[in-house]
Structure 1
């Protein structure tokens, strides 16, 4: 009988290519958080659940034309914007002996339909950062303003039952389901039922024999509207005809600090 152990389950040996040290990923050990939005040119990776939450809000907001995560860096020493990796490398070499914060990277750039732009700082409630960090942000703010990127701060609510936090993901998912589930016949039935005034989700679904999962589709398509900033999408949410208006999807201000 062979004394050679079976390869299955055998512990791998170290080699010149494998020193036993876990290679660090490009995210420095943090798992990538992904999402998708046509406004961000498809798939995008962000660094936290808070940033994904904001990406969802930007994706559904009808005022947003495009957005991009970590689009540029602010050189706090030379007080200028750095838009390329090469510019960042050169600035890093130039300032390598300077003490204290030297750079600030915004979390998102927003391009609005009206032609204006904003930079966005994203935080999670309860983890907003210390005074040293916000001093760096304060130094970057006038540089961003001077370059046409006023800075806004958006905060992921700590309460997982917060209406905007609850609604954001459902609405974001619904944007990808409109073509599949929204039909002229469905829109006409809903319009007739709601013509006399507001109705709750529970009543509408009962009267028209609708699945509750269709409600976000009707909201993001502008068939229906509701107070999504202060009420979760559930049976008691009051709905009314939106006639194509999408202002109920403008939820950024509800989490702005």
Structure 2
């Protein structure tokens, strides 16, 4: 008698919040190591990863979570675990998941205490009428709970300066701690630049460092650059940041409200 076949358990590293990732549309999950998440974020697209990287860099963001909850837009009930969501679906006459269940891509906790849920959307694919109606209901229900739902329209382009810089700086964040004397480097930058700006390649000899270490100066607020429009390379124009991290505020968080 043949032994019954058992389905394989889902690998633990593809479980995230209330969703099972790694098999959505046949696409593999995308992983990002995040200090603000306290571990590995499991994401669904390269665009989501870039937004998570920008949140990691943004000094206004205290913590990050992926697929943090699911909201039933028909009842207003919110589920924070996959098991609770599955149990609720089992009690319905039909699953209706596409009509009823909304799961944000990210949840950010900001230093001002606000906790916006984030939907990352490619502007080329805004979604059909059903999706838009569900998103509108989710927005209203979350607002009633005192929470914002922020839709970030972002088209992932691997060669774009923003994507390149997000990847570069997030890698540097997880590298070894700098052994350079940052106070001494800040002094040299002030002497070399004052209030002027210059190309990075022209500044580095005065600092005695190479291009590979330049990202540290941006991360620590010694140098600032237009990270949205210019790739952080030898040709990037930089200026003294004086300890400010405003240049790392790359997420559009102006719509977040209490």
TM bracket (short chain): 0.7 to 0.9
Distance in structure 2 (CA, Å) of the matches to 1:118 and 1:112: 8
- Report the alpha carbon displacement of residue 239 of structure 1 after superposing the two structures with TM: 1.2
- Report the alpha carbon displacement of residue 98 of structure 1 after superposing the two structures with TM: 6.5
* Structure-to-structure mapping, 1:1-257, within 5 angstroms: 16=3, 27-28=22-23, 29-97=26-94, 99=96, 101-177=99-175, 179-184=177-182, 185-195=184-194, 197-253=196-252
| 1:46-77 superposed Cα distances (whole Å, 9 cap, x missing partner) | 12211111110110000001110000011112
Structure 1 residue runs without a partner (length 5+): 1-14
Structure 2 residue runs without a partner (length 5+): 12-19
What is the TM-score normalised by the length of structure 2? 0.81
| 1:152-198 superposed Cα distances (whole Å, 9 cap, x missing partner) | 11233243333222211111112223723542344433333223522
Residues 105, 89 of structure 1: alpha-carbon distance in 2 compared, 3 angstrom cutoff: same
What is the TM-score normalised by the length of structure 1? 0.82
Local SS of the residue matching 1:135: helix
Superposition RMSD in Å? 2.7
Specify the structure having the higher radius of gyration (Cα): 1
- Report the alpha carbon displacement of residue 216 of structure 1 after superposing the two structures with TM: 1.4
Distance in structure 2 (CA, Å) of the matches to 1:221 and 1:213: 15
Contact map agreement 2:156 2:163 (CA 8 A) in 1:
no
- Report the alpha carbon displacement of residue 121 of structure 1 after superposing the two structures with TM: 0.3
Number of aligned residue pairs: 240
Stretches of 4+ aligned residues off by more than 4 angstroms: 15-19, 21-26
- Report the alpha carbon displacement of residue 206 of structure 1 after superposing the two structures with TM: 4.0
- Report the alpha carbon displacement of residue 238 of structure 1 after superposing the two structures with TM: 1.8
- Report the alpha carbon displacement of residue 37 of structure 1 after superposing the two structures with TM: 1.4
